[in-house]
Amino acid sequence: MHLTLLLSEQCSAASATTALELLKAANLFAGQPIFEIHTASLDGGPVATLSGQTLHADLALGAISHTDLVLVPGFLFTLRDALPGFGRYTDWLRQQHSRGAVLASLCTGAFMLAETGLLDDARATTHWALADLFRRRYPQIRMAERDVLCEDNRVITSGGAGASAHLLLHLIRRYGSLELAQKCSRYLLIDSAPTEQSVYVMWNMPKAHGDADILRVQNWLEQHFDQPLAIDELAQRFGFSPRNFVRRFKEATQYTPLAYLQTLRLERAKHLLESTRMNLDSITFKVGYEDSNSFRRLFQQRVGMQPASYRKKFQSPAV
């Protein structure tokens, strides 16, 4: 199958080269060229990447009349600078999709696909740290930041850099075979079982919103989140009516007060799971809950795995 790796200015060299090496490994393991790989840039010239490296393209996009699969590498820390130029690729991407091509993005390459409009009313994912930006910029797309992979209307998006390997194995499995994907996974030491992105999320509580009254509430909550709290009582403490408090808090932080409090408690629980040997009952009490079974369910729902599994995955060896 004809595969085009789209190289654009400021893309991640690691994202592009990982795709090239894993797909070429699949060809070697298969003993035949499953993927006919071509690299292409807008004008056929080299592109400068995030790290300052230069990636050389085989040809210009305009020289490709038809391809079966387009891969868009991610952008890591250059996304905001690269984003204004994504419109230059829209016509070619839409043309290839209309001719039957599958479009797939690695990590934040999802933003380039979103710019085409092909994801409107579809389900998509990207790196969790940029999910809010994605949601604000493309409200017509059903954002699924917990997911590692999403596919809708022949457009595939993936989460962070680690999820790129899962996407590539998914393509190898689809266009090669399950056995070939498993062989690549074993030889290259890639975990072939995707997890939710939510286990890696580090929530940053928004404070640059300009609402000084709500900021006072946030600062107070950071010191008292482990205490029994009722939202109506919290509103009264800071001079709000309950309805006005919920409205103002959500406008400022994008969280309801209850979700914000849960998030504070979950972040503290994650820290304790990573850094101590405290049992779950003790952690539950320390972060402001009484029932460890209810807390376990909340943790599973919001983080994507059980507390014991989270501890096993992330606890420091020093502990």
50 and 142 assigned to the same domain: yes
Indicate left, alpha or beta for 307 from its phi (over 0: left) and psi (-120 to 50: alpha): alpha
Q: Which residues pair with 104 in a beta bridge?
A: 71, 156
User: What is the predicted pLDDT for the residue at 251?
Assistant: 92
Dihedral of CA 79/85/89/91: which sign?
A: positive
**pLDDT value at residue 101:** 92
Q: How far apart are CA 67 and CA 100, in angstroms?
A: 8
Q: Chain centroid to CA 99: how far?
A: 28
Residues 82 and 170 in one domain: yes
Please name the helix (run of DSSP H) or strand (run of DSSP E) that holds residue 242, with its range, or none.
helix 242-253
Question: Same structural domain for residues 59 and 195?
Answer: yes
Same domain membership, residue 110 and residue 179? yes
- Clarify whether residues 123 and 271 are in a common domain: no
Examine the fold and report which residue of 200, 221, 246 is the final residue of a domain before the chain moves on: 200
Which pLDDT score, from 0 to 100, does residue 316 have?
62
Q: Output the domain CATH number for residue 253.
A: 1.10.10.60
Spatial separation of the C-alpha atoms in residues 216 and 238, rounded to whole Å:
8
Q: Give the C-alpha separation, 302 to 127, whole Å.
A: 17
Q: Is 193 contained in some domain?
A: yes
Size of the chain in residues: 319
In degrees and rounded to multiples of 5, residue 135 shows phi and psi of -65, -40
Q: Which amino acid is at 123?
A: R
d(CA 71, CA 109): 9
206 in any annotated domain: no
The rounded Cα 17 to chain-centroid distance in angstroms is 20
146 and 111 share one domain: yes
In a domain, residue 7? The reply is yes
Q: Do 59 and 183 lie in a common domain?
A: yes
- Number of compact structural domains in the chain: 2
* 207-216: burial string, b at 16+ Cβ within 10 Å, e else: eeeeeeebbe
Whose tokens are 């390459």? That residue is 109
Per-residue pLDDT of the chain (319 residues; tens, 9 = 90+): 899 999 998 898 888 998 999 999 999 998 888 999 999 999 999 998 877 789 899 999 999 999 999 999 998 788 888 899 999 999 999 999 999 999 999 988 999 999 999 999 888 988 888 888 899 999 999 888 777 788 887 899 987 666 678 888 888 888 888 788 888 887 776 765 455 555 545 566 778 788 999 999 998 998 899 998 899 999 999 999 999 999 999 999 888 999 999 989 998 898 888 888 999 999 999 999 999 999 999 998 888 789 998 888 777 665 6
Residue after which a domain boundary falls, among 200, 223, 243: 200
Residue 164, in any domain of the structure: yes
CATH of the domain at 138: 3.40.50.880
Q: Is 29 part of any domain?
A: yes
Whether residue 119 sits in one domain with residue 226: no
What is d(CA 102, CA 171) in angstroms, rounded to the nearest whole number?
Answer: 10
Q: Is residue 205 part of a domain?
A: no
Task: Please state the pTM of the whole predicted model.
Answer: 0.65
Give the Cα separation of 143 and 23 in Å (integer): 28
Domain presence at residue 269: yes
Whether residue 257 lies inside any domain: the answer is: yes
Same domain, 193 and 285: no
Query: In b/e form, how buried is each residue of 60-98, taking b as 16+ CB within 10 angstroms?
Result: ebeebeebbbbbbbbbbebbeebbeebeebeebbeebbe
What domain range is 301 assigned to?
Answer: 212-314
Same domain? 46 vs 80: yes
Same domain, 240 and 175: no
In 3D space, the residue among 26, 167, 169 whose CA is nearest the CA of residue 110 turns out to be 167
Residue 165: the pLDDT is: 81
Residues 49 and 156 in one domain: yes
| Half-sphere exposure of residue 40: CA atoms within 13 angstroms, side-chain side | 25
Judge contact between 70 and 93, C-beta under 8 A: yes
